[in-house]
Structure 1
Amino acid sequence: MKISQRWKSLDVFRGIAIASMILVNNPGSWDNIYPQLDHAEWNGYTPPDFIFPFFLFIVGAAMPFSLSKYTKENRPTKAVYWRIGRRALILCGLGLFLALFSLTLDFWLNGAPASKFATIRIMGVLQRISLAYFISAIAVLNLHRRALWILAAILLLGYWAAMQLIPVPGYGAGNLTPAGNLVGYCDRLILGQQHLLGGKPFDPEGLLSTLPAVVTVLAGYFTGEWLSKQPQQSRTSINLVIVGMSCILVGHLWGFLFPINKQLWTSSFVIFTAGFALLLLAACYELIEVRNLKWLGFPFEVMGLNAIFAFVGSGFIARILIKTHIGNGTDAPTTYTWIYEHLFKPWAGALNGSLLFAITTVIFWWLILYFMYRRNWYFKI
Structure 2
Amino acid sequence: MTLFNRAAEAAGLDPRAVGEDGLRRAARIASGRLGLAHERELPARLAADPGARRLFCGQAVVQETWLFRDPEAFRALARLAPALPRPVRVLCVPCSTGEEPAGAAMALLDAGLAPGDFRVDAVDACPEALAQARTGRFGPHSLRAPLPDPCPWLRREDDLLVLVPAALESIRFLEGDVLAADFLAHEPPYHAVFCRHMLIYTAQEARARLAANLRRLLGPGGALFTAPAEGAAFLGLGLVPHGLRAPTPPTRNAAGARPDGLTDRPASRLPEASRAGGAPGGSGVSRGPGAKSAQPAPEASGPDLLESASVQADAGRLDEALATLDQALSALGPSARLYHLRAAALLALGREAEAELALRSALYLDPGHLESLTHLELLERAHGRLQEAELLQGRLRRILAEARP
TM-score when normalising by structure 2: 0.26
Greater strand proportion:
2
Higher percent of residues as helix: 1
**Higher normalized contact order (CA 8 Å, seq sep 6+, divided by chain length):** 1
